[in-house]
Amino acid sequence: MELRWGERTYVMGIINVTADSFSGDGLATPGRGEPEIVAAALEQARGFVAAGAQLLDVGAESSRPAQFYGEHPQVSAAEEAGLAVPVVAALAAELGDRARVSIDTSKGSVAREALAAGATMVNDVWAGRRDADTMAAAADAGAYLVLMHNRELAEYPAGVFVEVVSMLRDAVADAVAAGVPRERLIVDPGIGFGKTPAHSIEMLHRLAELKDALGGLPLLVGTSRKRVIGELLGGGPADERLEGTAASVALAIAAGADIVRVHDVEPIMKTVRVSDGIVRWRP
């Protein structure tokens, strides 16, 4: 399935094969072995694709910001690959003709194993800053590469927008130098990553400006169940943020988002269809 930018908004369903996801949807729960994890991931992915998702993002290490959620166990490359790669292989074998499988990792070795197993996209929440081999892995496989802005602390002396643009421009240049064609690059402002709710709101408010500043590169936006949504709703747990997520998705599409990354694919798909029908209308 080719990604044809500008014609529609693509929906990326989140497949968390972790035990400690911030959103409470991790599939690697205690007592589950590889067959059970793969089966659970397949069941979830089948539902996502049936609902209309075109991308399946498999992640096996929590990337929740330690500054806001506290430290969480680090996962070795071997552990991460051991969880993610069997799921990637199963999803690619059964659903690869209807949806692209993405590997959510910041480790080059994990990206390479997942790409060999059938993934066709690397989603690096550190944009190669933790391990530049994710860029080389994507280049070698001819895969798409998502470059997300991130940092350890939510501190922006020059302003969050200016610094996000600067970092993503550098990451794009590095990825091209590593051999990833510009037409295979996707950028993500990293809503909630190394950002306070106020920072995230500013980035969401300026998405159209961000896309223009980055030369019109395809834009992925992930607001699903994020802390900023909870703040705007006045509190509540992550799994009670559906309506807020839907509102942010609609506004992101209006601002030019090309991909939205979500947990609740079926209801958000309805938001995407209506938003696309309005935003992409032509007489």
Which of the following is catalytic: 100, 195, 211, 226? Answer: 226
Q: Is 31 left (phi over 0), alpha (psi -120 to 50) or beta?
A: left
> What is the per-residue burial (b if ≥16 Cβ within 10 Å, else e) of 127-148?
bbbebbbbbbbbbebebbbbbb
Q: Are 211 and 249 in contact (CB under 8 A)?
A: no
Instruction: Report DSSP letters for 5-32, one per residue.
Output: TTT--EEEEEEE--S--TTS--S--TT-
Residues 6+ apart with CB under 8 A from 33: none
Counting DSSP H helices and E strands in the chain, the numbers are: 11, 8
With the CA atoms of 183, 177, 189 and 212 taken in that order, what torsion angle do they form, in degrees rounded to the nearest 10? Answer: -60
Q: Distance (Å, rounded) from C-alpha 236 to C-alpha 243?
A: 12
Active site residue 226: yes
> With contact defined as beta carbons under 8 Å apart, do 17 and 230 qualify?
no
Q: Is 270 a catalytic residue?
A: no
Strands 100-104 and 121-124: parallel
Positions marked catalytic = 226, 261
